[in-house]
Amino acid sequence: MEDSSDIHNLAKRYAPILHFHPEEGEFCCFPSDAEETYNAFHTNWDLFVEDRRPKELLSATPCYYEYWEDSKLTQIRYWFWFRYNDFPGAPLSIGKHVGDWENVEIRLYGSTKLEDAVWVLSNHYEARVASYSKTLQGFSREDVILNDEHINVWSALGTHANYPSPSSKPRCYVRFFCDKIADGGAIWNTRENLKSIDKTNFCTFEGRWGDKKAPRGPANEYNNRWRNALNLDPQSTEA
């Protein structure tokens, strides 16, 4: 598939639905426009300092995507940009930094059958895998929760790490400081404002989005196609 309109329609077909913690706006921030941030600060990232906005989910917020296809795998990765990252309650400023890139990807193996699909969700420096019955080597499978063909994803308070369920076991630091995920907050249907990364002003930018603690963006080799999980065939978890 090479036609950009076909790719965009496919991206729209599987775009995730994000659920935010009810306290997200009070504590930190919702996703925002990465092109605006890049345009304002890419010539001098020293000017990009702590910014906990927006405090509400804006309808025009873009969700960016990238696409790969080969003989046995179609892969779509959806990117979300946040201006700040903070781990609630963690000591010594653990988890505090400007900028936060998060992503959710779907891997379709040989067809568009969701029974065979695997979703890989960014989660701090690791990832979570969700599906009906498949997993990838090195991951424990969690059940996928779909609305039609759209995966539901729960974004942790402040850190924006992604989980396939509000009852997923959260990531913890030193056992006591854990991600907070919950129902009842704002819901973002990312399909409503999708944009290909190839059409953005930051599509070739490989640096950090801020100071030395800030994240590397989608174009950086660190976030290559296999960043979340290696290129391995899925394994069945059915008995």
Which SS3 state, helix, strand or coil, does residue 47 take?
helix
- Residue 6: Cβ-neighbour burial (10 angstroms; 0-12, 13-18, 19+): exposed
Residue 237 lies in a domain: no
Domain range for residue 92? 4-232
Residues 144 and 135: beta-carbon distance below 8 Å: no
Q: What are 50-96's pLDDT values in tens digits?
A: 999 999 999 999 999 999 999 899 999 999 999 999 999 988 888 99
Residue 239 lies in a domain: no
Q: Is 239 a residue whose pLDDT tops 60?
A: no
Residue 238 lies in a domain: no
Q: What are 150-187's pLDDT values in tens digits?
A: 999 999 999 999 999 999 999 998 888 999 999 999 99
Q: How many domains does the chain have?
A: 1
Average pLDDT score over residue span 108-117: 89
Pick the closest to residue 102 from 192, 188, 10 (CA basis): 188
Q: Is 134 a residue whose pLDDT tops 90?
A: yes
Q: What are 13-35's pLDDT values in tens digits?
A: 999 999 999 999 999 999 999 99
Residue 175 lies in a domain: yes
Residue 90 lies in a domain: yes
- 91 φ, ψ (degrees, to nearest 5): -80, 165
- Residue 164: Cβ-neighbour burial (10 angstroms; 0-12, 13-18, 19+): buried
DSSP string spanning 198-225? GGSTTTT--SBSSSTTSPB-TTSGGG-T
Residue of higher predicted confidence among 49 and 116: 49
